[in-house]
């Protein structure tokens, strides 16, 4: 059963990765870097400030920082325990895929997927009552994580497991946020 899932994971990676083209490689290299998403998060920070005020927005920013730190540590622990080779380093498929970017670290689970899903879930839950189209924030983890497949850095299973880890950590940090909000922001809006 495990071998069948791994083969399906490899086959899906090869297919999705093969859809790429050298023409679009530079775009996907930009998409995969967190720093280029800064304007999106500044805009979301502005939206939070607009509805919740600066003190509550600082709490949200602090929770996001804690969320990213926690998710990064959990991801690294899993990666170093499982030690799955990245597709670009896997001798079985390295010659078959387009390895646009190469990394030496391990593949399972995707930190990009877990961090982006955790952040998107948290922000969605906090801001959904104020913004009708907040659900669009989930496009970010989809595009961000697909960039990892496109570049040959992750298998789809790494992405899916990263999403699950992200949802779990996002949920845990959301619970902490609700506790702190209820304790220190009586009468202010939120989840």
User: How far is residue 147 from each of residues 46, 64, 87, 184, measured CA to CA in Å?
Assistant: 27, 22, 14, 39
Q: Which of 56, 112, 148, 181 is catalytic?
A: 112
d(CA 39, CA 42): 5
Q: Which of 99, 154, 166, 177 is catalytic?
A: 154
**Is there a catalytic annotation at residue 112?**
yes
d(CA 98, CA 18): 7
Quick check: 92 and 84 in contact, CB under 8 A?
Answer: no
User: How far is residue 165 from each of residues 14, 90, 93, 111, 168, measured CA to CA in Å?
Assistant: 24, 24, 26, 9, 5
**Is there a catalytic annotation at residue 56?**
no
d(CA 51, CA 107): 39
Active site residues: 112, 154
């Amino acid at each position: 059963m495990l071998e069948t899932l791994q083969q399906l994971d490899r086959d899906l990676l090869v297919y999705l990765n093969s859809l790429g083209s050298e023409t679009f490689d530079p775009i996907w290299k930009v998409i995969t870097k967190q720093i280029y998403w800064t304007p999106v998060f500044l805009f979301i920070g502005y939206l939070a400030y607009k509805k919740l005020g600066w003190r509550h927005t600082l709490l949200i920013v602090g929770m996001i920082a804690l969320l990213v730190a926690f998710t990064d540590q959990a991801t690294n622990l899993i990666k170093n325990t499982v030690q799955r080779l990245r597709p670009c380093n896997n001798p079985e498929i390295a010659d078959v895929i387009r390895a646009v970017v190469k990394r030496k670290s391990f593949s399972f689970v995707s930190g990009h997927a877990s961090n982006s899903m955790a952040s998107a879930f948290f922000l969605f839950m906090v801001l959904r009552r104020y913004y009708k189209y907040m659900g669009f924030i989930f496009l970010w983890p989809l595009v961000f994580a697909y960039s990892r497949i496109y570049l040959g850095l992750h298998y789809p299973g790494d992405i899916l497991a990263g999403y699950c880890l992200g949802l779990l950590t996002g949920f845990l940090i959301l619970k902490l946020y609700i506790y702190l909000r209820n304790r220190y922001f009586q009468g202010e809006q939120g989840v």
